Amino acid sequence: MAVAERYAVKESEAHWQQVWAERACFRATEDPERPKYYVLEMFPYPSGRIHMGHLRNYTMGDLVARYRRARGHMVLHPMGWDAFGLPAENAAIQRGVHPATWTRENIAAMRDQFKPMGLSIDWTREIATCEPEYYRHEQKMFLDFLKAGLAYRTETWVNWDPVEHTVLANEQVIDGKGWRSGAPVERRKLAQWSFRITRYAEDLLQAIQDLDRWPDKVRAMQTNWIGRSEGARVRWDLADRDDALEVFTTRPDTLYGASFCAISPNHPLAAELARDNPDLAAFIAECARLGTSEEAIETAEKRGFDTGLRAVHPLDPSWTVPVHVANFVLMEYGTGAIFGCPAHDQRDFDFARKYDLPILAVVAPRDTDPVAFAADLTAGTEAFVGDGVAINSRFLDGLGVADAKRAVIERLESLGKGEGTVQYRLRDWGVSRQRYWGCPIPVIHCPSCGIVPVPEDQLPVTLPEDVTFDAPGNPLDRHPTWAHVDCPTCGTAARRETDTFDTFVESSWYFARFCAPHSDTVAFDRAAVDYWLPVDQYIGGVEHAVLHLLYSRFFMRALRDCGYLAGAEPFAGLFTQGMVTHETYQAADGSWLEPAEVERTDDGGARRLSDGAPVTVGRSEKMSKSRRNTVDPERILDTYGADAARLFIVSDNPPDGDMEWSDAGLEGAWRYVNRIWRLVAAPPVPLPPAGTPVPVADLDAPTLGLYRRAHKTIAGVTEDLERFRFNTAVARIRELTNALGDLKADAPGAAAVARFCVETAVRLLNPMVPHLTESCWQALGGSTILAESDWPQADPAHLVDDTVTLAVQVNGKLRGNVSLPRDCPKAEAEAAALAVDNVRAHTEGKTIRKVVVVPNRIVNIVVG
């Protein structure tokens, strides 16, 4: 092969990356006259190594960014580092390296690994959340939240990891155990800083409806997480006591079916009663031991302890029910107390069976005999939770469930015994972490003034560098001087808050900071933020569907209400990409082998490269260190170059699904990269100079067909990219280049058409394989570079053909084809269809009952 025909990947990719950098092609600038487009991938944690998930994530984002730039948008596509967090402290403990050093070195290493991908990122906007220039603004926000009542300190039950010596977020507790330590998590009551996310519960919920460019799946998950339920709070006076029990219910219509009340083992009343009742205290202790792991809940039976107290029915003072402490009542939801209506709630039913409590049906399905229904239900094992009409319910009898709810609430309100209310599952966000490597919470605890915010002119509160990790717990707590300060208000000796923020706080506003990352006086330059926000396309893993995305939505609202910015929704469009998976390999002794250690054999098996020992091929799973089925992106980029990797990533399967990484697939992409280059360097037809017009009128039918195919490809690819269908976009371009093989070189205008097709393919492929296509474009004699060029335009006149092929069916079965002028009259199509030989064979001797003609598509002849 001639030298000119071989594509020099390394030289090409390095060259174009340098050209783009020199020309500052990807520097984001604001131009109010032009449409903007903000593309953002979820920023990475600087672990020090990029992985395949990064490669996939940033390839997709880059594709979108390059496409939008070509479409004439002012594009913002920045990169930063989610740089606080536990791994840095673990590295400090294990290897004695300071978290700051470890993090900064990792950032440098990962930046070096990202650069060869050829991403169209504005690197001048790079931020790292661990730097004081970044987190100082977060501290100011916190002070403003404090003033606005959006941040507060309270004693809450937390998940405490006894090994890590810190609080864990709910998502860090897996099956009741710490996600890193594996130690059973303890429930502890601690004074914690919390953000009042519940203030926006209704707004966060309602606004989900307008997030029409978010996946339905994520919208559903957020909706469920917020967990709105309408119902009533009902007060049950306690007999022989001065106080009352407040319960929450979604079924106030079943109040006349109540047979007990139950309170959580963590309910204050339970604690009070337990003081004089050792048996109850023992019961409560046992409930706590049972824990909250999934299988514990699954298998635990309903258990209760009768307190001996009686609660007075709110609608009938002569009616009392027993009050139990029950293991299935959660303190965290509602009021921590319920009334039990066994007939219409399965849990209450099970409980009533066990403790022999009455089961009285108060709702019956319409059109059933209430007496018989009630008898069946009482005798059976299942509660009735469906819709119906009230029975055995005095003034409610005959009302439907919805009407009965309204009527009861009205009665309760008039009696002062309760009121209609809305309950949310969502809880406030506890943000305190007993950790060093996080943003310091800027408050001071003063023995005489209490909690005193750090004055704004003293921000930022920076982390001390001289810390030790030789003992468990928070190094800030042990630091000899850092925490000891004078109270800003009264001047007496006081102590800094030593907790730091949950790292989800930094990621809740970084997207806004990217709009003007270097403004040091304010967190957000209003003009820049108003121009760029919201993010038009956010891309990341679905694992953040609830927490990060919900926290960010909360933060935008809180920042808006504190006067920082105007919008409420951070991400107008969201795309959740799937995981990267790979086959797993196990040696005979069960140990896992890396893909690089294994070779596939022709019979479909595999063997170890080192000694030829047989290897068991397991199913494809998410790449993980434990199964050793990871592939190192750095090596891929080094061997095949960025373009082949990028092409494989976007062409293999739909981007929202899991992608199976395979060497064969990558090599297929690599072959295509080289094929495209050959198309330019050694075209099937000598190409005329750039700008040679296509002599459309002179083209014969096949050549015109190819020319039109190129226009259709432009239209199709454009549509596919708009809809995130990268795989079909690539397939269309491959079809075009395949079709080029059928071009007759000596046909009139063939060379000009060939040039048009090659140019089109190159331009359409640019967002996927930017380096290769720049080289191609240059070789084709392009006067610009593609990174600064416009997206091709399809000519609508060439999107339709003059001649169309119609399928001909007889009784719905395909029997032939006919070629006809586009939009020809139905009668003509019918006649042509009936004339097809094979059609005649199937209609001969039969009566034609009906002929269906769908113009330009199909003719169906119905015979009988």
Partner RNA sequence: GCGGACGUGGCGGAACUGGUAGACGCAGCGGACUUAAAAUCCGCUUCUCGUUGAGAGUGGGGGUUCGAGUCCCUCCGUCCGCACCA
652 binds RNA (CB under 7 A): yes
> Residue 859: beta bridge partners?
808, 853
**From candidates 203, 294, 306, 599, binder to RNA by CB under 7 A:** 294
Q: Which backbone phi and psi does 91 adopt, to 5 degrees?
A: -65, -35
271 binds RNA (CB under 7 A): no
- Which residues ranging from 767 to 806 are in contact with RNA (CB under 7 A)? 805-806
Give least dist CB 376 to RNA, A. Answer: 20
Q: Do the bridges between strand 580-586 and strand 592-593 make them parallel or antiparallel, or are there none, so unpaired?
A: antiparallel
Contact 424, 226 (CB under 8 A): yes
**From candidates 48, 132, 184, 227, binder to RNA by CB under 7 A:** 227
Give the burial string for 655-694 (b: 16+ CB within 10 Å, else e): beeebebbbebbebbbebbbebbebbbebbbebeeeeeeb
What DSSP assignment string belongs to 671-703? HHHHHHHHHHHS-SSPPPPTTPPP-GGG--HHH
333 binds RNA (CB under 7 A): yes
Contact 647, 673 (CB under 8 A): yes
Write out the two tokens for 765: 């492929």
- Which residues ranging from 654 to 673 are in contact with RNA (CB under 7 A)? 654, 657-660, 662, 664-665, 667-668, 671-672
Give least dist CB 668 to RNA, A. Answer: 3
Give least dist CB 564 to RNA, A. Answer: 30
Give least dist CB 22 to RNA, A. Answer: 33
Give least dist CB 760 to RNA, A. Answer: 16
Distance CA 422, CA 424 (A): 7
**Judged by CB, which is closer to RNA: 556, or 650?**
650
Tell me which stretch binds RNA (CB under 7 A): 78-86, 123-131, 328-336, 410-418: 328-336
Tell me which stretch binds RNA (CB under 7 A): 87-95, 222-230, 478-486, 706-714: 222-230
| Nearest alpha-carbon partner for 129 in 394, 471, 510 | 510
**Judged by CB, which is closer to RNA: 435, or 732?**
732
Tell me the site size for RNA, rule CB under 7 A: 89
| Nearest alpha-carbon partner for 82 in 684, 706, 609, 504 | 504
SS3 for 745?
A: coil
Q: Which backbone phi and psi does 514 adopt, to 5 degrees?
A: -60, -20
Give least dist CB 545 to RNA, A. Answer: 7
858 binds RNA (CB under 7 A): yes
- Measured in whole angstroms, how far is the alpha carbon of residue 795 from the centre of its chain? 38
**From candidates 220, 288, 588, 613, binder to RNA by CB under 7 A:** 220
Could you identify the residue written with the tokens 């020090």? 48
> Residue 622: beta bridge partners?
581
Write out the two tokens for 380: 């059976």
- Which residues ranging from 384 to 443 are in contact with RNA (CB under 7 A)? 423, 425
612 binds RNA (CB under 7 A): no
**Judged by CB, which is closer to RNA: 231, or 322?**
231
- Measured in whole angstroms, how far is the alpha carbon of residue 34 from the centre of its chain? 30
Q: Where are the alpha helices (DSSP H) in 148-243?
A: 201-208, 216-226
Distance CA 343, CA 773 (A): 70
- Which residues ranging from 169 to 208 are in contact with RNA (CB under 7 A)? 170-171
**From candidates 297, 371, 588, 745, binder to RNA by CB under 7 A:** 297
Tell me which stretch binds RNA (CB under 7 A): 227-235, 309-317, 408-416, 554-562: 227-235
Contact 542, 124 (CB under 8 A): no
Give least dist CB 798 to RNA, A. Answer: 17
854 binds RNA (CB under 7 A): yes
- Which residues ranging from 679 to 708 are in contact with RNA (CB under 7 A)? none
862 binds RNA (CB under 7 A): yes
Tell me which stretch binds RNA (CB under 7 A): 20-28, 773-781, 827-835, 852-860: 852-860
What DSSP assignment string belongs to 244-307? EEEEEES-GGGGGG--EEEE-TTSHHHHHHHTT-HHHHHHHHHHHHH-S-HHHHHHPPP-EEEE
Give the burial string for 618-641 (b: 16+ CB within 10 Å, else e): eebeebeeebbbbbbbeebbeebb
Give least dist CB 214 to RNA, A. Answer: 12
**Judged by CB, which is closer to RNA: 159, or 249?**
249
What torsion, rounded to 10 degrees, do the Cα atoms 318, 322, 328, 332 define? Answer: 60
Q: Mask of contacts with RNA, 558-597, x by CB under 7 A?
A: ----------------------------------------
217 is in an annotated binding site: no
**From candidates 46, 78, 80, 231, binder to RNA by CB under 7 A:** 231
Give least dist CB 772 to RNA, A. Answer: 14
Q: Mask of contacts with RNA, 244-263, x by CB under 7 A?
A: ----xxxx------------
Give least dist CB 683 to RNA, A. Answer: 12
Question: Judging by beta carbons within 10 Å of its beta carbon (0-12, 13-18, 19+), is residue 592 exposed, middle or buried?
Answer: middle
- Which residues ranging from 732 to 751 are in contact with RNA (CB under 7 A)? 734-735, 738, 741
Tell me which stretch binds RNA (CB under 7 A): 35-43, 85-93, 129-137, 856-864: 856-864
Give least dist CB 328 to RNA, A. Answer: 3
Tell me which stretch binds RNA (CB under 7 A): 298-306, 478-486, 697-705, 753-761: 298-306
**Judged by CB, which is closer to RNA: 513, or 815?**
815
Give least dist CB 408 to RNA, A. Answer: 12
End-to-end CA distance of the chain: 63
Q: Which backbone phi and psi does 294 adopt, to 5 degrees?
A: -60, -50
**From candidates 135, 711, 815, 836, binder to RNA by CB under 7 A:** 815
**From candidates 328, 384, 482, 501, binder to RNA by CB under 7 A:** 328
Prior bond to 693 cis, omega within 30?
A: no
**From candidates 271, 731, 779, 824, binder to RNA by CB under 7 A:** 731
Binding-site positions for ATP: 625
Annotated binding-site residues read: 625
